[in-house]
Copies of this chain bind each other. A is one copy, B any other.
Amino acid sequence: MSESAPRQTLQQRVSAAILEGAAQLFAVEGEQASMNDVAEAAGVARATVYRYFPSREALLGELARAAVDEVDTRLASARIDEVAPEEGIARAVRALVDVGDSFVLLARQRRRSDPDRFESRLTQPLRSLFERGQAGGDIREDITSARLTESLIGLIVGVLTSTPALGKEDMTATITGLFLDGARARGPRRR
C-alpha cells in the first residue's frame, strides 16, 4: 500500500505519451493505423502499449473518453452560456480547435463508443447556445439548431483536417468568420 505514490508520475507520463501520439496518428493517418504505428508514434515499444491498454479497442475507448473530457472542460471554462451568443460561438470554436486532433478523432467515431456522452457533453451545449441565440434574434431561425450544431462540427472537422499546418488562431478566425457571417462580401459590390 506504500508503493503507489512514487510511480504515478512515470506511469502518467508514459500513458500521456501514448495517448497523445495515438490521437495525432489516428487523426492524420485515419483509424486504420496499426498498433505498431501507435507505438512508434509514441516512441515506445509495442509491448508497452499493451501494458497500459489491454486491447486496441480499449485504447480507442480511452482516447474517446479523454477527448470528451477535454471538450467538456474547455467548453465549461469558456462559459459559453453566460455571454452573448456570437461571443459564445466564437469561444466554442476556439475551444474545439484547441482540442485539435482528439476532437477530429472523437467526431469521426462518435457513433461507436458512447454516443450518449458525445451528445450530452458536446452536442447539447452547442444546441442550447444556438437556441438561445435564436430566441434573442441573433441567430437565424430558418435552420434548426440541431442542423446548425452538426454543420459547425462538420466545418471545424473539415478545416482541421484539410489544412493541418495552419495556426490555431487562423483556423479559429476562419471558422468563426465563415460560420457567423458566411462567405458573401458585406460591403457594396465593386465594378
Contacts and interface: CB of A to CB of B under 8 A. Distances in A.
A67 B103 CA distance: 28
A10 interface: no
B187 A179 contact: no
A2 interface: no
Nearest to A136: B191
A181 B153 CA distance: 18
Contacts of A150: 158-159, 162-163
Interface size on A, as a range, is: 35 or more
A32 interface: yes
Given A138-B184, A141-B185, A148-B183, 5 more contacts: A30-B31, A137-B188, A142-B177, A147-B174, A151-B159
